[in-house]
């Protein structure tokens, strides 16, 4: 297998156990997963099934209790804290349900923030931020503050922030969860277009309407992958 054919994300036997008051909670159990470049996959399942925990491990925000996780060929367990932070900043773009925009920063400044952490020169940051905002149709709001935007507009800005550093993968945790159906559909159309342009996307969702946007869906139950479906096949059967 050549480097170009290797999975962008590979998990083998990943598990996550939380210990509270001497009680073990198995959030993930023996998860096997591969995501290739330019795939769009969704992770579905009931609340408490381990979806967000899985996404946190993918995003190097958490570490597994057991098993192996490779991100773009890098074994996560071999990385120092600093190396994890550097890889996370360069390889991963996060989109959260609650947007996580900073209220006293403008749209431009919010999108610019990941580049500041990277020590990207200010001259380059300006063009990169404008390009990202144009990509999501928000370039006309670059001097506005989050409080001056609708929920759908805030999520578009959050997507631009995730995109600005040209990450290897976008990790989206319930990106439509705080939006009405119209705004949610617009955000999903945006993600669909980004995927068509070459983005790799892994999205957690509770909403069955949005499974059709993905190439495949992993169903998580009690911390285990219990099923995998192709939404196109499911639609054809229905």
- Quote the domain boundaries for residue 28: 3-237
C-alpha closest to that of 167 among 95, 66, 65: 95
Q: Which two tokens stand for residue 169?
A: 């993968």
* Contact (Cβ atoms closer than 8 angstroms) between residue 88 and residue 114: no
pLDDT in tens, 185-194: 999 999 999 9
What pLDDT is recorded for position 32? 94
Q: What is the DSSP string of 39-102?
A: -EEEEE--TTSSHHHHHHHHTTSS--SEEEEEETTEEGGG--HHHHHHHHHHHEEEEETT----
Q: Which residue has the tokens 């156990």?
A: 17
How many separate domains does the chain show?
Answer: 1
pLDDT in tens, 119-160: 999 999 999 999 999 999 999 999 999 999 999 999 999 999
- Cross-strand partners of 14: 31
What pLDDT is recorded for position 121? 94
CATH number at residue 110: 3.40.50.300
What pLDDT is recorded for position 1? 47
pLDDT band at residue 231 using 50, 70 and 90 as cut-offs: low
Give the pTM: 0.89
* Contact (Cβ atoms closer than 8 angstroms) between residue 94 and residue 171: yes
| % of the chain with per-residue pLDDT over 70 | 95
Instruction: Report the distance separating Cα 211 and Cα 203, nearest Å.
Output: 9
pLDDT in tens, 46-101: 888 899 999 999 999 999 999 999 999 889 988 999 999 999 999 999 999 999 99
């Amino acid at each position: 297998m050549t480097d170009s054919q290797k999975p962008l994300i590979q998990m083998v036997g990943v598990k996550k156990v939380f210990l509270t008051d001497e009680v073990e909670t198995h959030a993930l159990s023996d998860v096997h997963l591969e995501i290739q470049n330019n795939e769009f996959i969704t992770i579905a399942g009931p609340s408490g099934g381990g979806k967000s925990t899985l996404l946190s491990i993918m995003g190097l925000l958490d570490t597994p209790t057991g098993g192996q996780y490779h991100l773009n060929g890098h074994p996560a367990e071999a990385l120092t804290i600093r190396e994890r932070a550097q890889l996370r900043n360069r390889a991963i773009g996060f989109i959260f349900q609650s947007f996580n925009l900073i209220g006293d920063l403008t749209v431009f400044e919010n999108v610019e923030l990941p580049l500041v952490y990277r020590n990207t020169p200010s001259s380059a940051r300006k063009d990169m931020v404008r390009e990202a905002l144009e990509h999501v149709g928000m370039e006309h709001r670059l001097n506005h503050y989050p409080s001056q935007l609708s929920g759908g507009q805030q999520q578009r800005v959050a997507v631009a922030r995730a995109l600005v550093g040209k990450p290897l993968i976008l990790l989206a945790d319930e990106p439509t969860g705080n939006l009405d159906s119209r705004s949610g559909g617009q955000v999903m159309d945006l993600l669909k277009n980004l995927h068509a342009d070459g983005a790799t996307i892994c999205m957690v969702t509770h909403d069955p309407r949005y499974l059709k946007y993905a190439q495949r869906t992993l169903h998580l139950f009690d911390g285990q992958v219990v099923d995998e479906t192709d939404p196109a096949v499911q639609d054809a059967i229905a």
